[in-house]
Structure 1
Amino acid sequence: MPRLLNVRPRGGGRLLLGFLPLAAVLLVYLTASAARHAENPGDRILPTPAAMAAAVHTMAFEKDPRTGEIPLAADTKASLRRLGVGMALATGATLLLGLGIGLLPLARAGLGPLVAAISVAPPIALLPILFITFGLGETAKIVLIFVGVTPVMVRDLAAYVAAIPEEQIVKAQTLGASTWLVTLRVALPQALPRLIESLRLSLCPAWVYLISAEAIASDVGLGYRIFLVRRYLAMDVILPYVVWISLLAVAMDFALVALSRAAFPWAHPGGKS
């Protein structure tokens, strides 16, 4: 009898195992919702699928009379723009600082402690400071995402670069490579797959910072909409929005995995994500 450690699901079996927990959660919700509505037909805490479908139709296909836009489309566009800009800036800064701190002892000694100190500060606590400094517009929200994820990504990438076998760097220098060439030809190719992995892991906190900022000061966005309708206990809107955010995050994660596998197949020898 094979050990469980050596049993690897393949094809349809793997998909089935991934689907079963989701189906179990859905079944529990439907059962609880039916029970609450049997006791109180006006219950708003666990809305029925029909109520959520009606809310989704309103939010996704009907224009808001006040703005003339479809709420879900406008909210998604605004949130993705903020998230995209913040994560793009964080990725660029991470690549520069991570390579520098990981490769250069002077940069490690000078910037390492600062990055470490910033990375342990709770970004949400900085939100009032950011709103006071940058105002209530887009800048503060983007800066919160940047400040929230960049230090952790930098520490991760710097540690990975610093762990590159010293023999590789010595051999490159022996062949006449300068610091710049060692960075480009030795460190950068190995750092890029790790950067994508770090970006994947940072998506969740980035979404948290975005939703938090939109909830406090915004007039459009997924987080803004969730906190706007919560005062009416509109769970038929909140739950679909949460599911939509999760689907967007999963799609981003899959896209980054596909990018990493296509660009750096040698970093995925076993096909693991």
Structure 2
Amino acid sequence: MRRIINYHPDRLTGLLLAMLPFVLLIAAYAVGSQARLAENADDKLMPAFATFVDAMSHLAFEPNRRTGEYVFWTDTLVSLQRLGLGLGISTLLCIVIGVPIGLIPYLQQFLNSFMAAFSLIPPLAVLPILFIIFGLGETSKIVLIVFGIAPFMIRDVTIAVTQIPREQLIKAQTLNASTWQMMTQIVFPQVLPRLYTGLRLGLGAAWLFLIAAEAIASEGGLGYRIFLVRRYLSMEIILPYVAWITFLAFAMDFALDRLSRWTCRWHHLAS
């Protein structure tokens, strides 16, 4: 008797199944919105889709009268710049710190416990401290992202390094390889897939810290705009911005997955 776990959808069926939850969510919202607007035409909680289109068209395709900027695209660019710098610095720290800690026993004894404790500090709890030290400008927002995701990525890469078979390092030493050569030619290529995975898993947290920082003290960005219009209950702006952030995060996750498959083909073939 065949069990359900042995049935696999074909390509078309799989695509339809993947799209179905989104279609159901949109349909449920449409029904709920129509019901609320039928009771109260001025309801702000669940605006009609036409209201979304009007609001976002104004923000995306009409320049601001005061600054001349296209607000939606300016907010997107500002947030992506902050996020990109935060992720880039976190990745660099992950490589520079995580790989040596996992490879060199003295560094492992010296920093492993410290990094474990450091990674447990709630990033949002130190946000006021970051504002005091770095001010309310760009630096504090980028540092918050780094503070929030870099320690976890460093720990993950450190664990990945320690899981590399010791025989490989012994063979490299018998061939007179230096520590630097082992680090760059043996260790780093093997932990690179784990690094991509860490980045993908850290994306959600990175967006969270970015939105939090922009909401508290900022002059632009997606999070800033959401919290700016909340006082007016402008759900026709808030909901599209949330959907756009979700789409950007999904696109970044997809891009990292493609990049991982392109640069680490051996890993994906093996798995």
TM range (shorter): over 0.9
For residues 33 and 158 of structure 2, the distance between their equivalents in structure 1, rounded to whole angstroms, comes to: 48
1:134-149 matches, cutoff 5 A: 134-149=134-149
Cα deviation digits, residues 85-131 of structure 1 (max 9, x gap): 11100000001111011111111111111111111111011110000
Q: Alpha carbon RMSD of aligned pairs, Å?
A: 1.2
> 2:185 aligned with 1:185, yes or no?
yes
Q: Letter of the 2:160 partner, please give it.
A: Y
Cα deviation digits, residues 52-84 of structure 1 (max 9, x gap): 111110111111112210110110010000000
Aligned to 1:18: 18
- Alignment coverage as a number of residue pairs: 271
For residues 147 and 131 of structure 2, the distance between their equivalents in structure 1, rounded to whole angstroms, comes to: 13
1:6 Cα deviation from its structure 2 partner: 2.8
1:261 Cα deviation from its structure 2 partner: 0.6
Q: TM-score, normalised by structure 2?
A: 0.97
Aligned to 2:246: 246
Secondary structure, in 3 states, of the residue corresponding to 1:269?
Answer: helix
* 1:176/1:10 CA distance change after superposition, 3 Å: farther
Cα deviation digits, residues 164-183 of structure 1 (max 9, x gap): 11111111112221211111
Q: TM-score, normalised by structure 1?
A: 0.96
1:1-273 matches, cutoff 5 A: 1-269=1-269
Q: Letter of the 2:259 partner, please give it.
A: L
For residues 12 and 237 of structure 1, the distance between their equivalents in structure 2, rounded to whole angstroms, comes to: 34
* 1:168/1:8 CA distance change after superposition, 3 Å: farther
For residues 160 and 209 of structure 1, the distance between their equivalents in structure 2, rounded to whole angstroms, comes to: 26
Q: Letter of the 2:232 partner, please give it.
A: Y
Unmatched segments (≥5 aa) in structure 1: none
Q: Which runs of 4+ in 1 moved over 3 A?
A: none
1:135 Cα deviation from its structure 2 partner: 0.4
Unmatched segments (≥5 aa) in structure 2: none
For residues 6 and 267 of structure 1, the distance between their equivalents in structure 2, rounded to whole angstroms, comes to: 25
Secondary structure, in 3 states, of the residue corresponding to 1:176?
Answer: coil
1:237 Cα deviation from its structure 2 partner: 0.2
For residues 59 and 131 of structure 1, the distance between their equivalents in structure 2, rounded to whole angstroms, comes to: 30
Secondary structure, in 3 states, of the residue corresponding to 1:156?
Answer: helix
Q: Letter of the 1:87 partner, please give it.
A: L
